[in-house]
Structure 1
Amino acid sequence: MSYRFDGKVCLITGAASGIGRATAQKMAALGATLSLSDINRDGLAETNTSCGGDKHMTEIADVGSSQACNDLVSATVSRLGRLDFVFNCAGVNPTAYALTETTDAYYDKLMNTNLRGTYNMTRAAIPHLSKAEGGAAIVNTSSMMGLTVAANYAIYCATKFAIVGFTKAMAMELGPKQIRVNAVAPGYIDTPTNAGVVAGPEAMAEQEKKIAIGRFGTAGEVADVVAFLFR
């Protein structure tokens, strides 16, 4: 790998596990200083330790709150001196519900975290990213279900399709400010909150039949793509 991120600061939401943790570890290995955020305090501490700990910072923050996102960005810049990259990884994985069985609380939970959280963090970060020497970058987390659909996942699909549209619009809006905006759209990834993983080995085996390479992807493989998009 020929690129490094020494002297750069990367803010990662949803950093306590899965893709967020793997990306934190990847970026730390490539020299970045990290601002790590999640609502899972113990998981966040574990991620920080696995990334070397001392030079990084952690903050408990609910990305569904615009004030929490504003405070997180302000704290990052105050403590680490700058902001170059944002990985909007915080999200809620879906549960299969027919629309008639979907509650307002479930709708609000997915919308507030997956979509509003991406919006809140992006808006808060823009003024600081625009000052980054050599340009800055945002990577948002969509899903294969932001590109295709499945019955009983309407609300999750709605959030992830919206992130694709949001990302494309932000790429056009922020490009002139030298801020690149992209999205990753993971498929079946072996993470602790993946529905198939939670359901157990039989469910995973059924899902693996739908995957061309015959196995789940790994969080590290997604992290490789995110790091590439930051370079």
Structure 2
Amino acid sequence: MPSDLAGKVVFLTGAASGIGRGTAIKLHSLGAILVITDINEAGIADTLQLCGRNDAGRHTGLILDVSKAADAEQCVAEVVAKHGHIDHVFNCAGINPTSMPLTETSEAYFDKLVGVNLKGTYNITKATMPHMTAPGGSYVNVSSISGWNPTMGTAIYCATKFGVIGFSKCMALELGPKGIRVNIVCPGYVDTPTNAGIAKGTAAARTAMEQGNALGRMGTPKDIAGVVAFLMSNEARYMNGSVVGVDGMLRT
């Protein structure tokens, strides 16, 4: 596993649970300096504890609503005041869908998903860009298998995840000449609290998720975290604008 992430400042969103937390733990094990953000204060504290909270204040936890541009700017300003720069960004904050026909969705539901999943990625990218290490910095943005494989009843969610891919590829073109890479991970069914909600706690729904790929199991946050760490590392130095599926080979 790459060791060149030691001492690098990594800004993570959505890191209070699930994939964000798993990635924070992985990056901590590789010696990175973490900025752990989320709207869930208790979850931030738990992630910090799992990443060695008492490690001489190495890591920072900050409450952040990524859908609010002013909050993103303020949070990034605090990070830059402490560290002076940012090496890598993991845009992981997101809201999973509720399956329903479009006619049953509300404007509030649309605004919530777009605000966090897509605008949140935009807000954090825009706020961090002036402070990124160049060359050598990178972004890893979270889309989904729903970002390339649409599913019935999730039109708004799919739109946000397709949007993350399009936005990220444009940023790869814009930032590539500065030596800053932008890549995308598309997780499949991952065993996280938010996916547990989608499964509605039923054995049949979980079984359907497990059988939805060739490996016959749901992924884990650790499965995604290893790919994220690789994409941030120098081992992926010629990967830019890449969309990486981490889904056990989705059955379609």
TM range (shorter): over 0.9
Match of 2:65 in 1: 62
Structure 2 counterpart of 1:105, one-letter code: A
Structure 2 counterpart of 1:117, one-letter code: G
Structure 2 counterpart of 1:107, one-letter code: F
Superposed CA deviations along residues 100-123 of structure 1, whole A, max 9, x for unmatched, are 000011000000000000000000
Structure 1 counterpart of 2:39, one-letter code: I
Distance 2:204 2:89 in 1: 36
Shift of 1:196: 4.1
The reply on whether 1:73 has 2:55 as its aligned counterpart is: no
Shift of 1:177: 1.1
**Which of 92, 95, 118 is the equivalent residue of 2:95?**
92
Match of 1:186 in 2: 187
Match of 2:244 in 1: none
Structure 1 counterpart of 2:203, one-letter code: P
What does 1:92-131 correspond to in 2, within 5 Å?
92-129=95-132
Secondary structure in 2 aligned to 1:140?
strand
The reply on whether 1:169 has 2:167 as its aligned counterpart is: no
Q: Considering only aligned residues, what root-mean-square deviation do their CA atoms show, in Å?
A: 1.2
Superposed CA deviations along residues 32-82 of structure 1, whole A, max 9, x for unmatched, are 001110000101100011111221111101000001111111111111332
- How many residue pairs are counted as aligned between the two chains? 229
Distance 2:155 2:192 in 1: 22
Shift of 1:2: 4.1
Uncovered stretches (5+) of structure 1, i.e. residues with no partner? none
Distance 1:2 1:156 in 2: 33
Shift of 1:29: 0.6
Distance 1:80 1:128 in 2: 10
Shift of 1:135: 1.1
Match of 2:40 in 1: 40
Match of 2:9 in 1: 9
Distance 2:135 2:161 in 1: 30
Contact 2:2–2:229 at 8 Å: present in 1 too?
Answer: no
Uncovered stretches (5+) of structure 2, i.e. residues with no partner? 234-252
Secondary structure in 1 aligned to 2:121?
helix
Give the percent of matched residue pairs that are identical in Structure 1 and Structure 2. 50
